[in-house]
Amino acid sequence: MKPNKAAAFTLLEVMIAVAILGLVGLSIFRFVEGTLAGVASGTELVEEAEFLEGFGAFLAAQMEHLPVRIGAITGEPHRFDQVSGDELRWIATPGPGMLTRFANGEYTVALTTRQVPGGGFEIGLNRQDVEAREEARWYPLFGDVHGFEVRYFDAAREEWVERWSDLTNRPTLVLVKLWRDPEGEPHEWMLPIPYVSRDALSPQYNFNRRRRGRGRGSRNRDADRSGERDPRGNRGGRDRGAPSADGSAPRGERPPPPQPPPNRPSAP
C-alpha cells in the first residue's frame, strides 16, 4: 500500500504569506496615522484662523467705539531682542470685550507683547482703570509671537508713522501686523478710526454749549417755527411778491422777457 500524504504549505510559502500580511498592515497603519495627523493639523489651522479672525474683529470693535475725549488712542514703538513689540494704547468702556462685564468707569488698555519665562513672547492686554484705583492687570491672549507692529496713518502729513502722541487728534487708519512664523508673512488688519473734529477733542470744548451766533435769516426761521407772520403777511421769510435786492424777479416767478432796444432816429 502507498502511504497517505496530506497536503501542506512549505516553510517558504508560509514566510512569503507572513511578509505580505506585514506589508499590508504597515501600509494601513501609515495611512491611518497620516490621516489622523492631517486632521489634527487642519483642526489646529482652523482654530488658529478663527482665533485670529476674532482677534481682528475685537480690535475693529474697540477702534469703532473709541470715546470722544483727549488721548483716546496713542501708540509707541518698541523692540526686544531685535523683535518688534509695539504698544497700541486706547481708552475703552467696560464690557465683555475688556474681560469684565459689570465694571464701572473707563479703562486704559494697552495691546503689546512681553517676554515669557523660558524664552519667546506672548501678546496680551494690559488693563487699568483711568483713575488708577487698582493695579494694572495682564490678560494674555496667545503665545508663540515673533513680532507685533503698529503703524498710524497721519492724514495731515499723508504718510504712515510709527508713533502716535497727538492727544487732540486721531489717525485715519491703524495698521496692525502680527508674526506667528519668523520666516513667514505677517497677519495684517487695517482698522479705520472714526473721525472726530479737533474742536471736540479740545479741553475747552463744552458739549452742552449753545450756538452763540445767529446767522442771517434766524429771525425768519424763528417766526416760521412759532407760526407768526411778519408785517408783510409772509410767514417767516421775505415777501415772495417783492423784488429782491438786486432787482431780479420775485421768488417763484419767471423773469419778464427782455425789452427790445428803442428805435434810434435815422440820420437825415
**What pLDDT, in 10s, does the model give residues 27-73?**
888 888 888 887 777 777 788 888 889 899 989 988 988 888 888 89
**φ, ψ at 216 (rounded to 5°):** -65, 135
Contacts 24+ apart (CB under 8 A), 211-214: none
What pLDDT is attached to residue 49? 85
**Residue 221, in any domain of the structure:** no
What pLDDT is attached to residue 112? 93
Check whether 246 has a pLDDT greater than 60.
Answer: no
What pLDDT is attached to residue 200? 65
CB 146 within 8 A of CB 83: yes
What pLDDT is attached to residue 260? 52
Per-residue pLDDT band for 268 (boundaries 50, 70, 90) equals very low
**Residue 96, in any domain of the structure:** yes
What pLDDT is attached to residue 213? 46
What pLDDT is attached to residue 37? 80
**Given the C-alpha cell 452742552, which residue does it identify?**
208
DSSP letter for 214, please. Answer: -
The range of the structural domain enclosing residue 142 comes to: 62-192
What pLDDT is attached to residue 190? 95
Tens digit of each residue's pLDDT (9 = 90 or more) over 189-198: 999 999 887 7
Which range is most confident: 100-104, 152-156, 222-226, 251-255?
Answer: 152-156
**Residue 42, in any domain of the structure:** no
**Residue 141, in any domain of the structure:** yes
**Residue 50, in any domain of the structure:** no
How much is the average pLDDT of 113-135?
A: 86
What pLDDT is attached to residue 102? 61
pTM above 0.75, yes or no: no
**Residue 41, in any domain of the structure:** no
For residues 191 and 117, what is the distance between their CA atoms, to the nearest angstrom?
32
**Arithmetic mean of pLDDT over the chain:** 76
Q: What is the DSSP string of 77-93?
A: --EETTEEB-EEEEEE-
**Residue 4, in any domain of the structure:** no
CB 106 within 8 A of CB 93: yes
Check whether 257 has a pLDDT greater than 50.
Answer: yes
Instruction: List strand residue ranges (DSSP E) for the chain, in order.
Output: 73-76, 79-80, 83-84, 87-92, 107-115, 121-129, 137-145, 147-154, 159-161, 173-179, 187-192
Amino acid at site 54? G
How much is the average pLDDT of 155-167?
A: 92
What pLDDT is attached to residue 86? 93
Report the C-alpha dihedral over residues 20, 23, 26, 28, rounded to 10 degrees: -70
Domain count, the chain: 1
**Residue 57, in any domain of the structure:** no
Tens digit of each residue's pLDDT (9 = 90 or more) over 69-114: 888 899 999 988 788 899 999 988 776 666 665 667 788 899 999 9
